[in-house]
Amino acid sequence: MSYPVDPVYAVQFLSPSLVKDLDADSVARLLPGSGDIKGFIIESGASSAEAEKSEILTNIAFDDLSAQVMFTLEIVDGRWVINKITQK
């Protein structure tokens, strides 16, 4: 599995409600680590097509640390997008 490293490409995976409130400072705080993502493990996940919601718990390795991160997703215009990112 791959993940986007170009912020311009990566923004398409964020919900419009999340993107509208982002600026340079808040974008830098979306994920707990800095630098490139070295890898990730999906620890658990649950989704409901009926509720159009999903939660994915991951462990992400950065250059300087690894951290558990919860991604909350929703369906927007027929596709899954991230609407909240929370460090555990």
Q: What is the pLDDT of residues 20-31, one digit of tens each?
A: 988 878 888 888
Quick one: pLDDT at residue 72? 96
Domain membership of residue 1 (yes or no) is no
Domain membership of residue 16 (yes or no) is yes
Q: Which domain holds residue 52?
A: 7-87
pTM comes to 0.82
Quick one: pLDDT at residue 3? 54
Quick one: pLDDT at residue 46? 93
Strand partners, 62: 37
Query: 52 — alpha (psi -120 to 50), left (phi > 0) or beta?
Result: left
Residue 7, token pair as written in the block? 């912020």
Domain membership of residue 2 (yes or no) is no
Domain membership of residue 46 (yes or no) is yes
Overall domain count for the chain:
1
CATH number at residue 47: 3.10.450.50
Low-confidence stretches of the chain (pLDDT beneath 70): 1-8
Quick one: pLDDT at residue 10? 75
